[in-house]
Structure 1
Amino acid sequence: MGEVDPAFVQDQQHRPKLSIIQAEGIPQIDLTPILQHELPNPSTIDTLVKEIGSASREWGFFQVINHGVPLSLRQKLEEASRKFFAQSLEDKKKVGRDENNPTGYYDTEHTKNVRDWKEVFNFLSKDPTFVPLTSDEDDDRVIQWSNPSPQYPPQLRDIIEEYIEEMEKLAYKLLELIALSLGVEAKRFEEFFKDQTSLIRFNHYPPCPYPHLALGVGRHKDPGVLTILAQDDVGGLEVKRKTDQEWVLVKPIPNAYIINVGDIIQVWSNDAYESVEHRVTVNSEKERFSIPFFFFPAHDTEVKPLEELINEENPSRYKPYNWGKFLVNRKSSNFQKKNVENIQIYHYKI
């Protein structure tokens, strides 16, 4: 096995178990009823809305099938991802990220101060994307993040941009269903995304000689609104089941997308829905690829519970926070070890 790099070793209580719970797992939801409709018809999608609400409340995760994203486009993107990561480290680093701009390639991401067993390539949904210069609440300065221009494989940028369009369409459809499930107007959330800060990520998890010690991604919750994940057939995503706090493997379903509600929906819903902890295990023999799309609002969004959901019986559970400041704070800890825990939504709990 050789010497284990301590940077990758998880604390004893967070190491993956060798026996895996593969229960029925997260709910599977068929989106066929909304594919033909720009504005969903409440009578035809009532069951769908209930399914989405139940999954968001009980699991924080679900898989969608018949989602409308062309399989051929997804296959093109997955093939391009494999070609990109197959390059030499020197070539990949030509489009490397730096501490000012989180886009591009890097292989040193840390989750909760432990290095992840993976390499990634980040690409912004909107180029350029505007964010605060610092997480200081009194600093009004804004900077722009921009995308790298990978030379290989050819057309990678074009394929990514086409795929992002499909991800945004699917994200808006899902947001409408979530809004309806919360009892608010279908388009309630659209105003927050005029200048979105969304990004797509390509993950490559090489075979790991010590899968009992390291994780592809350590336990975490997603800070944004929604994550739409394409994973290959190797599997490795585990979700913490709310009923018993056990880690459950999410079995890959061909051509499905895994959806999880992020911290922002937890706040918007005033804790009706919960952003759930998840992690990625590694495989000693097989490499794994996944492509998450992180749906994030504009940097100047003030995140707080929806007014429609607040009343005397259900008072607001969160102080408002600025999404851009939150994002910039979180990004700073992904790149290197920090001595303090990065910002979490529970810091804004009332």
Structure 2
Amino acid sequence: MGEVDPAFIQDPEHRPKLSATEVEGIPLIDLSLINSPHSVTDPRVFEGLVAEIGNACKDWGFFQVINHGVLLEKRQRIEAAARKFFALPLEEKRKIRRDEGNVLGYYDTEHTKNVRDWKEVFDFTVEEPTLVPASPDPEDTEETEWYNQWPEYPPELRNACEEYAREVENLALKLMGLIALGLGLPKDRFNSYFKNQTSFLRLNHYPPCPSPQLALGVGRHKDGGALTVLAQDDVGGLEVKRKTDGVWIRVKPTPNAFIINVGDVIQVWSNERYESVEHRAMVNSEKERFSIPYFLNPAHYTQVKPLEELINEQNPAKYKPYCWGKFITHRKLSNFKKLNTENIQISHFKISE
């Protein structure tokens, strides 16, 4: 992956603080109730489960799920294909390198501005083509389409990715139904937002890092979308910033579990009843690490704003509406060129009290 940027060593603001508390950490939630053959649709049956998820979203912004219904063979297949792809020579992987013209595909941080991140990545979208705004300019009404780039090898990668995406999408939408119930909303309240979704998956590979004290796999950040469903291997490395005291908590890998976190979109929809939380990925000096996040995102034309059912005179809207498509287009293009404005955040739409 190349040398660690010398400027990084001199930058105390971004230099990783490697201390993290080793505790059980984020809640572990059993979803067998909604995935067993004998599950029922009566919402009252789910009250305990709904409360568990609601409390996890409120207190942590993160939780793990087991007995989630995603077939283990689908996960194993995509993980095996990802390992084969990342083992290819660099020149082969770069044949499908993403750029400003095609934001999907492969990239490695050696040739990006994110020199502090020690990883390589392959992105693909769930719906192909995915319709998005042509530019982040509010005055520009043109649309464009995102298409996936697939490598020649391994030949099974595409099918493995597409099958896994369908499995994890189903889980994500089930979770959105439970989150809706936890907010006192109908179970299908969020469904319409994802009919023309802009969701995508990412295959992450973190090679062994010779100077792990000087780099991160991914620096601290919050996810901009609605919900993230993460599969990580047994090496681990994910750390979550605990809301109560700001301490970084290392998430211990649980076999065949998924790690779930709410994103900025849910923070706005819920008018901050649930908040997205900072997290980061650590690197390892001896072992490579793999992870697969699925980012559930709404349709590009979605106007993201606090839901009317959750605001009133005592709890007024905390955010102005913003266009999700313009938001994600701005985020994607900022990976390839310096824009005239800073990287967009939901704080830009926060209503001053």
State the TM-score, normalized to the length of structure 2. Answer: 0.94
State the SS of the aligned residue for 1:140.
Answer: coil
| Paired position in structure 2 for 1:11 | 11
8 A Cα contact 2:109 2:115, kept in partner:
no
8 A Cα contact 2:4 2:115, kept in partner:
no
Deviation at 1:112, TM superposition (A): 9.2
Deviation at 1:342, TM superposition (A): 0.4
1:27 partnered with 2:27: yes
Deviation at 1:11, TM superposition (A): 3.1
Tell me which amino acid in the other structure corresponds to 1:282: V
Gap change, CA 1:250 and 1:110, over 3 Å in 2: farther
Alpha-carbon separation, structure 2, partners of 1:27 and 1:137: 40
State the SS of the aligned residue for 1:12.
Answer: coil
Alpha-carbon separation, structure 2, partners of 1:129 and 1:162: 17
| Paired position in structure 2 for 1:232 | 233
State the SS of the aligned residue for 1:204.
Answer: strand
| Paired position in structure 1 for 2:281 | 280
Count matched residues: 349
8 A Cα contact 2:4 2:116, kept in partner:
no
Computed over aligned residues only, the root mean square deviation of the Cα atoms, in angstroms, reads 2.0
State the SS of the aligned residue for 1:294.
Answer: strand
State the SS of the aligned residue for 2:68.
Answer: coil
- Listed one character per residue, the Cα deviations across residues 243-284 of structure 1 (whole Å, up to 9, x for unaligned) are 111111111001000000000000000000000000111101
**Larger displacement relative to structure 2 (144-153 or 295-304):** 144-153
Tell me which amino acid in the other structure corresponds to 2:55: S
Alignment of 1:49-68 (within 5 A): 49-68=50-69
- Listed one character per residue, the Cα deviations across residues 53-84 of structure 1 (whole Å, up to 9, x for unaligned) are 00000000000000000111111110100000
State the SS of the aligned residue for 2:85.
Answer: helix
Alpha-carbon separation, structure 1, partners of 2:25 and 2:214: 24
State the SS of the aligned residue for 2:144.
Answer: strand
8 A Cα contact 2:96 2:149, kept in partner:
yes
Deviation at 1:9, TM superposition (A): 4.9
Q: Unaligned 5+ residue runs, structure 2?
A: none
Q: What is the percent sequence identity of the aligned residues?
A: 66
Alpha-carbon separation, structure 2, partners of 1:22 and 1:295: 29
State the SS of the aligned residue for 1:54.
Answer: helix
Query: Which runs of 4 or more aligned residues in structure 1 lie more than 6 Å from their structure 2 counterparts after TM superposition?
Result: 109-112
Gap change, CA 1:268 and 1:99, over 3 Å in 2: same
Gap change, CA 1:39 and 1:143, over 3 Å in 2: farther
Alignment of 1:183-262 (within 5 A): 183-262=184-263
State the SS of the aligned residue for 1:164.
Answer: helix
Deviation at 1:109, TM superposition (A): 8.3
Alignment of 1:298-313 (within 5 A): 298-313=299-314
Alignment of 1:88-103 (within 5 A): 88-103=89-104
Alpha-carbon separation, structure 2, partners of 1:111 and 1:173: 36
Alignment of 1:65-80 (within 5 A): 65-80=66-81
Alpha-carbon separation, structure 1, partners of 2:248 and 2:10: 16
Gap change, CA 1:218 and 1:74, over 3 Å in 2: same
Deviation at 1:40, TM superposition (A): 3.5
8 A Cα contact 2:5 2:115, kept in partner:
no
- Listed one character per residue, the Cα deviations across residues 140-164 of structure 1 (whole Å, up to 9, x for unaligned) are 0000010112211112111111111
| Paired position in structure 1 for 2:123 | 122
| Paired position in structure 2 for 1:45 | 46
Tell me which amino acid in the other structure corresponds to 1:256: A
State the SS of the aligned residue for 2:202.
Answer: strand
Alpha-carbon separation, structure 1, partners of 2:55 and 2:280: 22
- Listed one character per residue, the Cα deviations across residues 169-201 of structure 1 (whole Å, up to 9, x for unaligned) are 101100000000000110000101111000000
State the SS of the aligned residue for 1:116.
Answer: coil
Alpha-carbon separation, structure 1, partners of 2:47 and 2:97: 46
Deviation at 1:221, TM superposition (A): 0.3
8 A Cα contact 1:29 1:63, kept in partner:
yes
| Paired position in structure 2 for 1:87 | 88
- Listed one character per residue, the Cα deviations across residues 121-152 of structure 1 (whole Å, up to 9, x for unaligned) are 00110010011011111110000010112211
State the TM-score, normalized to the length of structure 1. Answer: 0.95
| Paired position in structure 1 for 2:105 | 104
1:318 partnered with 2:324: no
